[in-house]
Amino acid sequence: MNALVQHQHQHHHRAAELDERYAVDHRLAQVYRWGAGVGGLMLVLFGIAGIVNEVGFFATHGARIAGMTTNGALGALSVLVGVVLMAGAVIGGNTASTVNTVFGVLFVLSGFVGLAVLDTSVNFLAFTMSNVLFSFVFGLVLMVFGMYGRVVGRLPHDNPYWRARHPGHPDAGRSRKMLGSGS
């Protein structure tokens, strides 16, 4: 096995160790924070509006707010998830990224569950088709905010995730300006 193939083989199976301190100060941290913060605020506002509407906690046909239906359970759940997203935004860095990604996946899954229970007696969150569509779209948006810069090809060499995956590369310690891109 030649040296290049052996070098690639050795690094292929090694787990990436991310520098948590670096990501907090990196420009990608702002993407993660904005996604979690704005998404969390939207959910908290929706949840509060659902709670103050005084619809039954598990009513299967809730009140309409912002084009979607809600009941007490969905309102409380929305506030809880919104607070967790906003906490991720405050913490920032990889935590915000992970919170966005995990809750994005959970929203997409909740869209499928909501779709399965539409117009049934087990629709405890009072989902309608607009709630299902929101869950899919919001989940995908959260995943984009969470995965941006972490799960893509051709990352710039000053990206902390690229550096973690290529620790021996000559460009791993160089900034974007040093690499010649000028920004």
pLDDT tens across the length of the chain (183 residues): 444 444 444 444 444 333 344 444 567 677 788 888 899 999 999 999 988 887 778 777 778 888 898 888 999 999 999 999 999 999 888 888 899 999 999 999 999 999 999 989 999 898 999 999 999 999 999 998 888 767 656 677 777 777 777 788 777 666 545 444 544
Whether 62 maps to a domain, the answer reads yes
pLDDT at 10: 46
pTM: 0.70
Non-local (6+) Cβ contacts of 79 within 8 A are 43, 44, 47, 48, 51
- Find the domain containing 142 and state its range: 27-148
pLDDT at 153: 63
Taking the C-alpha atoms of residue 165 and residue 154, their distance in angstroms, rounded to an integer, is 12
Q: Which two tokens stand for residue 112?
A: 């499928």
Non-local (6+) Cβ contacts of 155 within 8 A are 149, 161, 162
Query: How many domains are there within the chain?
Result: 1
Contact between 151 and 16 under an 8 Å Cβ cutoff? The reply is no
pLDDT at 23: 45
Whether 98 maps to a domain, the answer reads yes
| CA-derived radius of gyration, the chain | 21
Taking the C-alpha atoms of residue 167 and residue 174, their distance in angstroms, rounded to an integer, is 12
Whether 166 maps to a domain, the answer reads no
